[in-house]
Amino acid sequence: MSWSIEIDANTCIGSGMCAGVAPDHFELVDGYACAKQAQVEPADEVVDAAESCPVEAILVKDADTGRVVAPEE
Ligand code: SF4
């Protein structure tokens, strides 16, 4: 199983929370978040990053089924 990470660049406010929580998976480029890999192995810190984003700009899905893993509704 793998997860996909999508970041809504129009929503991201560049707070840097995601890169702080999961530096292996997120970085800031020109002040906005970028996923280091679009598909990743499931990892708690990816969920934590999506949950910590103040504007819920990060969407983590199961790459096979499309089920939303985080953030929780
Ligand atoms: S936590 Fe959200 S708003 Fe902050 S940099 Fe990451 S994606 Fe952007």
Contact between 6 and 58 (Cβ < 8 Å) = yes
Q: Which range of residues forms the domain containing residue 8?
A: 3-63
Instruction: Decide if 68 is inside a domain.
Output: no
Count how many domains the chain has. 1
35 phi, psi to nearest 5 deg: -80, 130
The verdict on residue 27 lying in a domain is: yes
Neighbours of 46 (CB within 10 A): 24
Q: Does any domain span residue 21?
A: yes
Q: Dihedral, CA atoms, 63, 69, 71, 73, nearest 10 degrees? A: 120
Residue 59 lies in a domain: yes
Question: What sign has the CA pseudo-torsion 57, 62, 63, 64?
Answer: negative
Query: Model pTM?
Result: 0.96
CA of 9 to the centre of ligand 1 (A): 9
Q: Is 14 in the pocket of ligand 1 (CB under 6 A)?
A: yes
Task: State pLDDT tens for residues 21-53.
Answer: 999 999 999 999 999 999 999 999 999 999 999
C-alpha span between 70 and 73 (Å, rounded): 8
CATH number reported for the structural domain that contains residue 27 in this entry: 3.30.70.20
Give me the pLDDT at residue 73, please.
76
Name the closest-CA residue to atom 6, ligand 1: 18
